[in-house]
Chain A
Amino acid sequence: MSAEPLVVQDVTKVFTSRRRGRDGRRLRVHAVDGVSFEIAPGAAVGLVGASGSGKSTIAAMVTGALRPTSGSVRFGGVDVTALRGNGLRGYHRDVQMVFQDPYGALNPLHTVGYTLTRPLENLLGLSAADAAARVDELLETVGLTPARQFAPKLPHQLSGGQRQRVVIARALACEPGLIVADEPVSMLDVSLRSGVLRLLARLREEHGLSLLYITHDLLSARVVTDEILVLSGGKVVERGVTKEVLQHPRDPYTERLLDAVPNPYAEAET
């Protein structure tokens, strides 16, 4: 895996609608507006904000799925925004994504084993036999043991937490340097969240992975990240060390997000 920093500089994404405004011009939406941040090798940065704050658009630009309207995304020496075809394919060995919905991210007709061999064969060029051996390792890494028992299963035979572990295993398959996790626990039961969050933390420690963690849930952001950026309307309204931002929020929007976190202990403390 490559120990490279991710540098996002002054990135803006404008979507143009087919609808036209009163002046006859197409409506434009500034989904992301001048956002900059860096993720050092092994670091974890969180993007937090409500729906529509631009978090997922940033993820799409970091993974190369969308091109910024202006600004640059660089990973190591590579200008991500200039990548096409094979270049982008090579980049996906270094940067992988974990999606919100483990039900939607796995093909229901493919076994866990098959799902995990795809990146091994397609991105790393492993033979079928080597890939099969690596599948067992990957399943053990994400805590799906005994691996032999999980490889032949289909997604519907797994719980939500187990499915999300498969999605993480797939992201790890080609030993990326950076994982972009977009709301990886918001669809999971609270009882399963800490297990998946602990897995992400362990992968950082053991594999030196960097993490871009996207969420509206400040509690999980606190557990997983070192640094956070609070986004509203595509702009960064506050940033800093996670614990400090959450303990001493300066922006009223951050306070609103904090107040909205459902917390069974909240009333007992006040």
Chain B
Amino acid sequence: MSAPVESPRQAPPLLTARGVDVVYEPARGVRIWSVRGVDLDLAQGEFVGLVGESGCGKSTLGFALTRLLRPPARLDGGSIEFDGTDIATLTGEALRRQRRGGFALVLQSGMNALNPVRTVEHHVRDVLRAHARPGERWDRPAARERARELLAMVELDADVLGRYPHELSGGMRQRVSIALALALEPRLIVFDEPTTALDVLVQKAVMGTIARLQAERGFTALLISHDLGTVLEATQRTLVMYAGRIVEDSPSDALRTGSHHPYTEALLACYADPRADEVTLGGIPGSPPDLSLDDPGCPFAPRCAYVQDVCRVVDPELTPLGRGRAACHVRAAEAGLPVPEVERVR
């Protein structure tokens, strides 16, 4: 039988998402299912990674969880409970109030997230004033003081306050974005590819800052990245996403060894140690499925090295595998779990 699933997170969940569906409707009659039936729990203070290829829906899911989706994308179903409140249906002022001490998003490119004609200090003041509590006033000296504190947290000098985004390097801009996300003391921060546009040395430094802030301040973090290497180094638990679904959910330290979803295995094979005697790099042939089609079966089946008949007919669900869970008929069968009979399904 299957190995016992590691006792899940002791802390109560901060965020519980059930059956989240996101569709894009770019034109009349065109529907793209970007996120399909995603269930997700994030415990208080947990650092979770979300990896997958371009277009797998990982950023869309991050936007959905922080309620930042804009048309043509919309939340088509499911519930998102944040600290006991269903935020999936909140609108206007009620949603805005949730953001203070609630959830924040750090975008991939600091340049896109920052206003090119405003100073860093102006950005911080905007955020503080926009989300001020009733009766709270952020005059310039108070906002400046808070901005100084925030910059110190992300290891930037106070003289960055008066600068414009174009006067900062990529790494500094990303640090400013992180400082802005911290301004309202959120309990959940979603980092969407925070280091992708940076070179390796700056990437390592910025990831180090994120890890330190997360440990010190204890917020819950979801790190979205296409880079499994970065995610495994930073996080406690890794979610692997493919074609809008979560196909594996494993403790990050367990991902380097043991049995996994074939897609996870293929992703791992794309890495190697550049110091090794022999270096071979794997790749994944083919491309992800067209998400506007509703094909039956496992979405990874056309690219999978282990594909069986059942995989082309029945979409697998997450089942226990090793210390985590995976959505794979082949791995489920290996673990002695029941697998649907193809004939019966047909």
Contacts and interface: CB of A to CB of B under 8 A. Distances in A.
A75 B200 CA distance: 32
A190 B226 contact: yes
A265 B201 contact: no
Contacts of B170: 51
A48 to B, nearest CB: 10
Interface of A: 50-51, 159-160, 189-195, 197-198, 216-219, 221-223, 246-247, 256-269
A162 to B, nearest CB: 8
Nearest to B270: A190
B7 interface: no
Given A193-B283, A267-B256, 16 more contacts: A50-B199, A50-B201, A159-B54, A190-B226, A191-B270, A192-B283, A193-B270, A194-B282, A195-B285, A219-B272, A219-B281, A262-B200, A262-B271, A264-B229, A264-B232, A266-B229
B231 to A, nearest CB: 8
A260 B198 CA distance: 12
Contacts of A160: 54
A148 to B, nearest CB: 19
Interface in B47-61: 53-54
Nearest to A190: B270
B133 interface: no
B54 A189 contact: yes
Contacts of B169: 51
B200 A260 contact: yes
B211 interface: no
Nearest to B282: A194
A246 B204 contact: no
Nearest to B287: A159
B270 to A, nearest CB: 4
11 contacts: A51-B198, A189-B53, A190-B228, A191-B283, A194-B270, A195-B283, A260-B200, A262-B271, A263-B229, A268-B257, A269-B273
Interface of B: 53-54, 169-170, 198-204, 226-230, 232-233, 253, 255-257, 266-268, 270-275, 277, 279, 281-285, 287
Contacts of A51: 169-170, 198-199, 202
A70 to B, nearest CB: 27
B272 A262 contact: no
A234 B229 CA distance: 29
A256 B287 CA distance: 35
A13 B221 CA distance: 44
B204 A260 contact: yes
A260 B268 contact: no
A264 B268 CA distance: 7
Contacts of A191: 53, 266-267, 270, 283-284
A261 B228 CA distance: 12
Contact of A261 (B200, B284, B285): B200
Nearest to B204: A260
A256 B204 CA distance: 10
Contacts of B202: 50-51
Contacts of A219: 271-274, 279, 281
Contact of B281 (A189, A194, A259): A194
B271 A265 contact: yes
A123 to B, nearest CB: 32
A181 to B, nearest CB: 16
A268 B257 CA distance: 8
Contacts of A265: 256, 271-273
A161 to B, nearest CB: 8
Contacts of B199: 50-51, 216
A242 to B, nearest CB: 9
Nearest to A248: B275
Give the 10 A-B residue pairs with the shortest CB-CB distance, closest first: A262-B229, A194-B283, A194-B281, A191-B284, A260-B200, A260-B204, A190-B270, A222-B274, A51-B199, A262-B230
A192 B202 CA distance: 24
A265 B273 CA distance: 8
Given A189-B226, A190-B228, A193-B283, A260 B203 contact: yes
B163 to A, nearest CB: 15
Contacts of A195: 283, 285
A223 B278 CA distance: 10
A197 B287 CA distance: 17
Contact of B200 (A50, A246, A267): A50
